[in-house]
Structure 1
Amino acid sequence: MKILIADDHDLVRDTLVAFVEACGDIQTETAPDLDTACSLVDSSGPFDLVLLDLNMPGMNGLDGLERALSMDKAPRVALISGQASREVAEKALECGAAGFVPKTLPAKSLVNAIKFMAMGEQYAPVDFMTAEPATAEHPMASQLTGRERQVLKGLTKGQSNKEIARDLDLSEPTIKLHVKTLYRKIGAANRTQAALLAREVGLF
């Protein structure tokens, strides 16, 4: 099995080669950018798999993937990245990529993924592809302490200070103080307004 690993970080490239060659049955070549990778495909191909770092020089997003896929001696091209979103991974697969490999994969899983793709299968880790996209936290949330957020959650449920105090195992005067502080922080005049503001920005 013969694969090409292209990544502009020497350490990442060397580590990937070490992982892969430890298997004993995979021959590797490396490149630091897309132009070098394409030259190697022409001069040393065909490769069973070409693994391209999404963010290395020459890639220009998915344009680099499409360029590599158009080469006769690179029938199977996959992306590897430490930063790409699920949306980018999905687009890469739609373009015809052999797979998408997050750099966070454990070594053994990474090698198995490479073998899997080189043998003609399409690979993308299920947990990455099904993860909920992270949502940016609203500025209101960052203004509040963890305890104040717990109290505000109680307000959105329509709870009284006494009920919130019971749930959080705190005294009622302490809850009253937290309520007063969070009113000031989020610009609310009363409990109803605080609850409405929290719901409006999607805090709860």
Structure 2
Amino acid sequence: MPQTIHQDSVHTPPVSPTVNNRPKIVFVGSAISFSERTLAVYRAEFTDYDFFRIATLAELSVMRSVHNDVQLVIFEADMMQSALDDTQRFVDAVGAARTIFSMSDPQDAARFLLARERHSGLDNVGFLPLNGPMDVWISIMYLFLCGQSFMPHEIADALINHCAQAAREDGLQPGLTTREWEVLHMVAQGAANKNIAADLDLSIHTVKLHIHNLLRKIGVSNRTCAASWFMEHHSGQPDPHRGAHGGS
């Protein structure tokens, strides 16, 4: 049976530090969001990990004060707003563990991704959709445990629709240069500035300048919206992989 930590145990260690040294995966939320059956299935599949369900950030802080081997923390969807409202407390409670949110409404997840750009420490967040079969959940969990990311297509669609609507409302005529389209294409692929610089034979400073200019031209404030804008508008634009890269 999965171990459940109740609210009245906040001031006591959730488990004895001498139990084992296996990495731990912690679900934070109610039994409605994360049932005993769900945890039992995960425990049977991932036998090298310990699974726990707790109720609050306070309990998570206590658990991490005893154990430094919490690898993943999976929050119920309602806690996305809490992460935005008190980001530092949230980040402190999670520590070095990977943050995952369960997802039932892709619009909520899209709004969180757009809002997190204004909050430091929420950049390495994943989503676990609740509307799929258990074997899909297990496959996604394997990705997370391997350090990979997963973006449900429903969230991507919601982001594209949001940013495309903002673009239409602003009547954008971006006038991007060929080089800016190339940089934007790599931003949409999730490339970091140093990778963009290496691929296009540019300095990191020049890449940052291109990103600053293209964000202003397309009327968005962050890379997430820029990536969504690209997915909506790139058809017919210069091929980013046309061959040699020249100029800046």
TM-score scaled by structure 1? 0.52
What is the aligned counterpart of 1:76 among 87, 98, 102? 98
Whether the 8 Å contact between 2:39 and 2:51 is mirrored in structure 1 is yes
Mapped to 2, the partners of 1:8 and 1:77 lie a distance apart of 17
Mapped to 1, the partners of 2:123 and 2:91 lie a distance apart of 8
Mapped to 2, the partners of 1:16 and 1:68 lie a distance apart of 25
Unaligned runs of 5+ in 2: 1-22, 163-248
How far off its partner does 1:49 sit? Answer: 0.7
Structure of larger gyration radius: 1
Whether the 8 Å contact between 1:20 and 1:26 is mirrored in structure 2 is no
For this pair of structures, how many residues does the alignment match? Answer: 133
The CA RMSD over aligned residues, in Å, is: 3.2
Runs of 4+ in 1 over 4 A off after TM superposition: 131-134
CA offsets 1:103-158 (integer angstroms, 9 cap, x no match): 11221111221221122122222344225769xxxxxxxxxxxxxxxxxxxxxxxx
After superposition, where does 1:15-26 map in structure 2 within 5 Å?
A: 15-23=37-45, 24-26=47-49
What is the aligned counterpart of 1:46 among 52, 56, 69? 69
User: Which amino acid letter does the alignment assign opposite residue 16 of structure 1?
Assistant: T
Whether the 8 Å contact between 1:49 and 1:75 is mirrored in structure 2 is yes
Match of 1:88 in 2: 111
How far off its partner does 1:101 sit? Answer: 1.4
How far off its partner does 1:74 sit? Answer: 3.3
Unaligned runs of 5+ in 1: 135-204
Q: 1:67 to 1:81 in 2, by over 3 A?
A: farther
Q: What is the SS of the residue equivalent to 1:121?
A: coil
Q: 1:66 to 1:92 in 2, by over 3 A?
A: farther
User: Which amino acid letter does the alignment assign opposite residue 60 of structure 2?
Assistant: A
Q: 1:71 to 1:33 in 2, by over 3 A?
A: closer
User: Which amino acid letter does the alignment assign opposite residue 77 of structure 1?
Assistant: T
User: Which amino acid letter does the alignment assign opposite residue 133 of structure 2?
Assistant: P
Q: 1:72 to 1:91 in 2, by over 3 A?
A: same
Q: 1:92 to 1:36 in 2, by over 3 A?
A: farther
Whether the 8 Å contact between 2:60 and 2:94 is mirrored in structure 1 is no
